[in-house]
């Protein structure tokens, strides 16, 4: 059997929820069996490394088998390992600062934060990012590709800098894009996006709103008219803020997103035509599953997978449509989509390792 083509990868920030899932996927990826990832992090150990199992105990292999350690960052280490691609699973401001240095050394970047997703400076302002070299950052921003494979497959394949989409925005964009591109939606009527996410979407660091006593047995809306993923919806769907309203909610579950989207068609449609539009749009997209009319997805159908499931129900008048889109926020909404982007960047099958 011919040896599989591989790529040498690094992960900066393997300690969080998304970082843990990314480590799990990369360690099991068939293309990386001979070249396991280099894990980088804040290492206090005097040896300059700590066991990955210490940060992510669920990844332990047992029977005395060890995982690659998490090592203290240095460019000498990166160069010695011959790294081709780095995943930045870091805070937004850190990724904004670090990405230029990696790119300068000829290393491609997949950034899981919001640092490079938004091209409009007004939309990007919500992250309060600053650049040491504004001219360089502006140039890199122009070439950053929004990492939604279903929308930008060709551009991702040749990109140096891929900005992984947000979890909420992935669930909404994938549901709406086929109908908007087909020109079926009455934009003057407006679109309402009612999205609910598990607590892991807020990250590993606990806050007043994510600790058990607040989130358990509760359901709450937050960031109304101000969530940072809104800019992604506007830019990727070519909408104005007057044409779409997105309200996120916190669900008392560990993971998963369910987005319910309310749309009005410009002219009456038949369920068969709506289903055909969705299926044709995703005909070559292995990670999107379109349901038949009236068959609505649930979070339990996508949890621990890299699928986005899309279903719909059309009102008897043929104009009022309810779309339901579900995904796992840590996988298709973060690390799984990042691996999907890696596959495209190196000519592997899009779904390989997923």
Reference 195, options 295, 326, 310, 93; nearest CA is 326
Going by C-beta distance under 8 Å and a sequence separation of 6 or more, which residues neighbour residue 244? 190, 191, 192, 193, 233, 234, 237
**Comparing 205 with 217, which gets the higher pLDDT?**
217
Catalytic residue among 167, 193, 308, 326: 167
User: With left for phi above 0 and alpha for psi between -120 and 50, is residue 91 left, alpha or beta?
Assistant: beta
Place of tokens 């309203």: 245
Are both 123 and 184 inside the same structural domain?
no
Distance CA 127, CA 187 (A): 28
Q: Evaluate whether residue 151 is within a structural domain.
A: yes
Distance CA 175, CA 178 (A): 7
Are both 238 and 302 inside the same structural domain?
yes
pLDDT at position 93 over 90: yes
The share of the chain scoring above pLDDT 70, in percent, equals 97
Are both 183 and 158 inside the same structural domain?
no
Are both 233 and 141 inside the same structural domain?
no
Is 167 an active-site residue? yes
The CATH number covering residue 85 comes to 3.40.50.720
Contact criterion met (CB below 8 Å) for 323 and 308 = no
Distance CA 113, CA 260 (A): 24
In this prediction the pTM is 0.94
Looking at residue 5, what is its pLDDT?
A: 87
Region 185-205 average pLDDT: 90
Q: Evaluate whether residue 201 is within a structural domain.
A: yes
pLDDT at position 103 over 80: yes
User: With left for phi above 0 and alpha for psi between -120 and 50, is residue 204 left, alpha or beta?
Assistant: alpha
Structural domain tally of the chain?
Answer: 2
Are both 227 and 145 inside the same structural domain?
no
Are both 137 and 226 inside the same structural domain?
no
Are both 172 and 297 inside the same structural domain?
yes
Looking at residue 127, what is its pLDDT?
A: 93
First-to-final CA distance of the chain: 22
Q: Evaluate whether residue 229 is within a structural domain.
A: yes
Are both 251 and 143 inside the same structural domain?
no
Q: List the domain range (segments joined by +) for residue 83.
A: 9-164+334-345
Quickly state the pLDDT bin for 353 (edges 50, 70, 90): very high
Element (H, E) at 20: helix 17-28
Q: Evaluate whether residue 352 is within a structural domain.
A: no
The CATH number covering residue 251 comes to 3.30.360.10
Reference 184, options 247, 259, 278; nearest CA is 278
Distance CA 344, CA 335 (A): 14
Are both 45 and 27 inside the same structural domain?
yes
pLDDT digits (tens, 9 = 90+) for 8-24: 999 999 888 999 999 99
pLDDT digits (tens, 9 = 90+) for 141-177: 999 999 999 999 999 999 999 999 999 999 999 999 9
Looking at residue 212, what is its pLDDT?
A: 78
Q: Evaluate whether residue 354 is within a structural domain.
A: no
Quickly state the pLDDT bin for 210 (edges 50, 70, 90): confident
Quickly state the pLDDT bin for 218 (edges 50, 70, 90): confident
The share of the chain scoring above pLDDT 90, in percent, equals 84
Sort 47 into a burial class: Cβ within 10 Å, 0-12 / 13-18 / 19+. Answer: exposed
Mark out the alpha helices in 219-316 (DSSP H runs): 230-237, 271-281, 299-302
Region 188-215 average pLDDT: 84
Q: Evaluate whether residue 89 is within a structural domain.
A: yes
Burial string for 285-316 (b: 16+ CB within 10 Å, else e) reads: bbbbbbbeeeebbebebbbebbbbbbbbebee
Are both 146 and 35 inside the same structural domain?
yes
Contact criterion met (CB below 8 Å) for 327 and 171 = yes
Region 42-71 average pLDDT: 83
Looking at residue 1, what is its pLDDT?
A: 42
Are both 173 and 160 inside the same structural domain?
no
User: In the structure encoding, which two tokens stand for residue 37, read together?
Assistant: 């990832």
Q: Evaluate whether residue 3 is within a structural domain.
A: no
**Comparing 95 with 218, which gets the higher pLDDT?**
95
Are both 145 and 202 inside the same structural domain?
no
Distance CA 203, CA 196 (A): 15
Place of tokens 């909408």: 239
Q: Evaluate whether residue 91 is within a structural domain.
A: yes
């Amino acid at each position: 059997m011919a040896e599989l083509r591989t790529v040498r990868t690094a992960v900066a920030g393997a300690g969080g929820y998304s970082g843990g899932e990314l480590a799990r996927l990369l360690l099991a990826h068939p293309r990386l069996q001979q070249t396991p990832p280099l894990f980088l992090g804040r290492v206090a150990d005097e040896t300059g490394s700590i066991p990955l199992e210490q940060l992510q105990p669920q990844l332990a292999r047992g029977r005395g088998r060890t995982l690659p350690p998490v090592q203290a960052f240095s460019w000498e280490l990166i160069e010695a390992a011959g790294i081709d691609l780095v995943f930045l699973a870091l805070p937004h401001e850190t990724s904004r600062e670090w990405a230029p240095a990696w790119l300068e050394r000829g290393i491609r970047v997949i950034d899981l934060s919001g640092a490079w997703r938004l091209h409009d400076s007004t939309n990007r302002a919500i992250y309060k990012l600053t650049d040491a070299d504004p001219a360089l950052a502006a140039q890199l921003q122009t070439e950053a590709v929004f990492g939604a494979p279903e929308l930008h497959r060709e551009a991702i394949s040749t990109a140096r800098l891929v900005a992984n989409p947000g979890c909420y925005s992935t669930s909404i964009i994938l549901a709406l894009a086929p109908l908007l591109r087909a020109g079926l939606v009455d934009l003057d009527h407006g679109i309402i996006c009612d999205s609910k996410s598990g607590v892991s979407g807020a990250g590993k660091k606990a806050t007043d709103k994510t600790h058990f006593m607040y989130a358990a047995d509760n359901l709450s809306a937050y960031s109304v008219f101000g969530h940072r993923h809104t800019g992604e919806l506007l830019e990727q769907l070519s909408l104005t803020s007057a044409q779409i309203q997105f309200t996120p909610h916190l669900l008392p579950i560990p993971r998963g997103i369910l987005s319910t989207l309310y749309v009005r068609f410009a002219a009456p449609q038949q369920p068969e035509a709506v289903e055909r539009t969705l299926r044709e749009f995703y005909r070559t997209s292995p990670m999107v599953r379109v349901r038949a009319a009236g068959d609505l997805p649930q979070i339990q159908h996508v949890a621990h997978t890299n699928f986005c499931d899309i279903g719909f129900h059309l009102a008897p008048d043929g104009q009022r449509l309810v779309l339901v889109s579900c995904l796992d926020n840590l996988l298709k909404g973060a690390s799984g989509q990042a691996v999907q982007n890696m596959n495209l960047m190196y000519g592997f099958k899009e779904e390989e390792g997923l």
